[in-house]
Chain A
Amino acid sequence: MMAARFLRRSLPVLRQARCYADAPSGSAQMSFTFASPTQVYFKEASVKQVDVPTLTGAFGILPAHVPTLQVLRPGVVTVFNDDGSATKFFVSSGSITVNADSSVQLLAEEAFPLDQLDVARSEVGTEPIGGFGREEKNSSSTLLHHGLQETVEGAPPYTHRRDSSGEGGKLSSSAYTSQTN
């Protein structure tokens, strides 16, 4: 699945260089940083794989992943540690950067481990999370709520959904209240 993705979207320059994914070289250790503005979950840690939900689909990131920039949508991030255990977090929105040196920065606007979540309380109090959602239909709080529901009831298995949700998503300033202090 990963190789097919490479084949489909590798740039012309790179096509000669690789047909199938090479076996990961020794130096391909993922330096994984996962943080929210108020808490750091992983700081330059070495993990095996990270599954992230993005606006263009969900995908898993292994060491030596192709460099990319993506924007997160509300959903579950699963981190597979080196010892095989998996930890899940719910993220509201944010960005993920995979650099050429295999370092991954996952910056979430809000992130919580799954055991700290309560869906019933998420419906009350639609305080805008301030995510970078699209227009009213997919407004950030709606996305957030759906994401939460999916998370608790069990998200559908990760598929390569290439959503063509291509509305001109201008920064929905409705998401920000004038919450001046």
Chain B
Amino acid sequence: MFARTSALVFLPQCGQVRNMATLKDITIRLKSIKNIQKITKSMKMVAAAKYARAERQLKPARVYGNGAGALYEKAEIKAPEGVANKHLLIGVSSDRGLCGAVHSNVAKAIKAKIANLTGEGKEVMVVNVGDKLRNILQRTHGSYLLLSCKEVGRKPPTFTDASIVATELLNMGYEFDQGAVIYNRFRSVISYKTDEKPIFSIDTVANSENMGIYDDIDADVLRNYQEFALVNTIYFGLKESTTSEQSARMTAMDSASKNASEMIDKLTLTFNRTRQAVITKELIEIISGAAALT
């Protein structure tokens, strides 16, 4: 009873705006949506240009990255099963948003892998490249974060960036046995898929069974080789990730612009109808006023 009377007190203020928005309100909304549409259109153009460049750079990077992984495939290197190995996950993403589900896909894959590995009793640490990823993971899986890299995504990634990440990672001193780089593999302009590339530690590679056929390998050479391979894998992940991100941003901004233009159409119709209603109301008032006089 009490609540109802107090509600009655407040209702009139909401009541007059609810049914028919005034012309002014519609004009304001229309203007703001038009501005937003301009912004999303220009963001789409920018993303399209960046995507074209990223895709061009991706072609040699793919050959390079696949070449780097060839050893692991051909020698079928895998960590010994059953041992409680330490895992390392490197999630590759970027700092910037408005690109669809790019970051959340990588984060989901990482969370699933963490759940899997901790369920099997293995130790996991995560390195993330990109601030967005850190934001997503920090709340729930903050204890697993080993290293976090910022300033990713503004300029196209270079080999130097990948080597910086690898250096810092190796300097942290986390002795992992095997791991994976989790990134978004670019498939086409409208599709990408979250994928992973394996990485191994020096010991795992050295002790793997098929390594015996490789001639003349001493520890130094193997270590250099492994570090180089790590940088290559990270570089490959970065390149693919950038291309996927730019294409996703292009698609997202494109659909945002389309949604905005739909809203503009609908609002324009409402605006015209409201305008006509207002004119009709004024006419009726004038005519009925005149009729009342005569």
Q: Which residues of A contact B (CB under 8 A)?
A: 9-11, 13, 33, 35-40, 43, 55-56, 66-71, 93-95, 97, 99-101, 103, 105, 107, 109, 130, 132, 166, 168-169, 171, 173, 176, 178-181
Contacts and interface: CB of A to CB of B under 8 A. Distances in A.
B208 to A, nearest CB: 12
A133 to B, nearest CB: 9
B167 A173 contact: yes
Q: Which 10 A-B pairs have the closest CB atoms?
A: A105-B67, A37-B159, A71-B224, A66-B215, A99-B74, A40-B60, A68-B215, A35-B64, A181-B155, A40-B63
B81 interface: no
Contact of A105 (B61, B68, B217): B68
Contacts of A99: 70-71, 74-75
B139 interface: no
B174 interface: no
10 contacts: A9-B215, A11-B215, A35-B60, A37-B60, A55-B220, A56-B216, A71-B221, A171-B170, A176-B163, A179-B160
A9 B71 contact: no
B229 interface: yes
Q: Which of B74, B155, B228 has most chain A Cβ within 10 Å?
A: B228
A99 B70 CA distance: 9
Contacts of A103: 70, 74
B67 to A, nearest CB: 4
Contact of B167 (A94, A171, A181): A171
B200 interface: no
Chain A binding surface SS class: loop
A99 B71 CA distance: 7
B212 interface: yes
A95 B225 contact: yes
Nearest to B149: A180
Contacts of A180: 151, 161, 164
A97 B232 contact: no
B45 interface: no
B159 A130 contact: yes
Interface of B: 57, 59-61, 63-64, 67-68, 70-71, 74-75, 151, 154-155, 158-161, 163-164, 167, 170-171, 212-217, 220-225, 227-229, 232, 235
A40 B64 contact: yes
Contacts of B229: 95
Given A107-B64, A107-B68, A100 B213 contact: yes
A71 B212 contact: no
B227 to A, nearest CB: 6
Contacts of B223: 169
Contacts of A97: 67, 70-71
A178 B57 CA distance: 23
A39 B60 contact: yes
A43 B63 contact: yes
A13 B212 contact: yes
Contacts of B155: 181
Contacts of A169: 220, 223-224
Given A176-B160, A181-B161, A166 B220 contact: yes
Residue from A37, A43, A95, A103 with most neighbouring chain B CB atoms (10 Å): A37
Given A100-B213, A171-B167, A173-B167, 7 more contacts: A37-B60, A38-B60, A40-B60, A70-B221, A97-B67, A178-B164, A181-B158
Nearest to A97: B71
Contacts of B171: 173
A8 to B, nearest CB: 10
Contacts of B161: 180-181
A68 B214 contact: yes
